């Protein structure tokens, strides 16, 4: 069997929570099936969420902090704060990344957003054009797969195409398309635990079975078919050329490649 390297980033304050259990289960299951696993348990690591001057030890405090400039220089010169450099190294080491979190306010918890904000620096996460990487579909993390594993307190119909909370694919677009696809990763369909406030013992066993299946297929599941920015679909002003979307594509779904005719 082909051994792969998987990074799990986990974001819940309580290890005994459903999220804690799912992160532990994934690590165990992936190791059991022969893979190498590293876990960034952000609460256990006491991860600082907010971007600040401390991220860039070379920054002169008397000088105005330009986050993009300071992070790009610190990345290029190799003097980012060590905890940030360590997370970048884990991402580069990985073949796949799993983010485990509870959906809070239709987005990632602050500590996980702060992992993205601080780790995906200029030169690493964005502003990579100068090093020959386009954005969307081609970036520092090209060749890696990424999957969200999230718990949602609401029920599935409320996040359906007509659900009041917004279609889940649209609500997750800023992460799936804006973080994963942007940096070159293949975004997989998310693994979602719906109605997550009510997960009793027998339901948890069933969830583990479903999650084990997703983990088993981590390297074969078809990614979400977002379009590359370079390749002809977008204009120079980064707008989708007219007529490129499928006949039924609406809203953010226009950024998916239409299914090939059979």
Give the strand pairing for 5-10 and 96-102. parallel
The answer to whether 24 contacts a copy of itself (rule: CB under 8 A) is no
Task: Compare residues 99 and 218 and give the one whose CB is closer to a copy of itself.
Answer: 99
Residue count of the chain, please give it.
262
Best CA proximity match to 41, nearest among 107, 90, 93: 90
Site size for a copy of itself (CB under 8 A) = 67
Part in contact with a copy of itself (CB under 8 A); list of ranges 30-38, 82-90, 150-158, 207-215: 150-158
Q: Of 50, 60, 213, 217, which lies in the binding site for a copy of itself, with binding defined by CB under 8 A?
A: 50
Of 184-213, binders to a copy of itself (CB under 8 A) are 197
Part in contact with a copy of itself (CB under 8 A); list of ranges 30-38, 142-150, 203-211, 250-258: 250-258
The answer to whether 111 contacts a copy of itself (rule: CB under 8 A) is yes
Return the H-helix or E-strand segment holding 37: strand 36-41
How far is the C-alpha of 239 from the C-alpha of 21, rounded, in Å? 42
Part in contact with a copy of itself (CB under 8 A); list of ranges 9-17, 27-35, 79-87, 91-99: 9-17
Q: Is 243 left (phi over 0), alpha (psi -120 to 50) or beta?
A: left
The answer to whether 166 contacts a copy of itself (rule: CB under 8 A) is yes
Q: Of 32, 93, 160, 206, which lies in the binding site for a copy of itself, with binding defined by CB under 8 A?
A: 160
* 202-to-100, 179, 199, 210, 214 alpha-carbon distances in Å: 21, 35, 8, 13, 19
Q: What is the DSSP letter of 107?
A: B
Task: Compare residues 76 and 254 and give the one whose CB is closer to a copy of itself.
Answer: 254
The answer to whether 162 contacts a copy of itself (rule: CB under 8 A) is yes
How far is the C-alpha of 72 from the C-alpha of 205, rounded, in Å? 45
The answer to whether 35 contacts a copy of itself (rule: CB under 8 A) is no
DSSP codes joined into one string, 10-64? E--S-TTSHHHHHHHHHHHHHHHTT-EEEEEETTTTT---S--GGG-TT--TTS-
Give the strand pairing for 96-102 and 191-193. unpaired
The answer to whether 254 contacts a copy of itself (rule: CB under 8 A) is yes
Best CA proximity match to 149, nearest among 32, 19, 1, 58: 19
Task: Compare residues 184 and 218 and give the one whose CB is closer to a copy of itself.
Answer: 184
The answer to whether 104 contacts a copy of itself (rule: CB under 8 A) is yes
Contacting residues toward a copy of itself, per CB under 8 A: 13-14, 16-17, 43, 47, 49-53, 64-68, 102, 104-111, 113-114, 116-118, 120, 125, 136, 153-155, 157-158, 160, 162-167, 170-171, 173-175, 177-179, 197, 229, 234, 237-240, 242, 250-255
């Amino acid at each position: 069997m082909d051994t792969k390297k998987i990074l799990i980033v986990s974001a819940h304050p309580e290890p005994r929570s459903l999220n804690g259990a799912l992160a532990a289960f994934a690590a165990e299951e992936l190791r059991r099936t022969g893979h190498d696993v590293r876990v960034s348990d952000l609460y256990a690591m006491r991860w600082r969420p907010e971007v600040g001057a401390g991220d860039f030890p070379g920054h002169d405090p008397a000088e105005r902090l330009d986050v993009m400039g300071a992070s790009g220089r610190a990345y290029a010169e190799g003097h980012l704060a060590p905890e940030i450099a360590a997370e970048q190294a884990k991402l580069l080491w990985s073949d796949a990344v799993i983010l485990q979190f509870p959906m809070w306010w239709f987005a990632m918890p602050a500590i996980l957003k702060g992992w993205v904000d601080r780790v995906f620096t200029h030169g690493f996460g964005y502003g990579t054009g100068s090093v020959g990487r386009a954005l969307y579909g081609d970036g520092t993390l090209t060749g890696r797969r990424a999957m969200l594993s999230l718990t949602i307190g609401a029920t599935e119909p409320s996040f359906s195409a007509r659900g009041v909370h917004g279609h889940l694919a649209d609500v997750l677009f800023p992460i799936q398309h804006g973080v994963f696809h942007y940096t070159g990763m293949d975004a997989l369909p998310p693994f979602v635990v719906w109605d997550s406030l009510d997960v009793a013992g027998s339901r948890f066993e069933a969830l583990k079975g479903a999650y084990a299946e997703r983990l088993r297929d981590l390297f074969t599941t078809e990614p979400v078919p977002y379009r590359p920015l370079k390749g002809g679909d977008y204009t120079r002003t980064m707008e989708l050329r007219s007529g490129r979307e499928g006949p039924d594509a609406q809203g953010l779904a226009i950024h998916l490649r239409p299914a090939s005719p059979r």
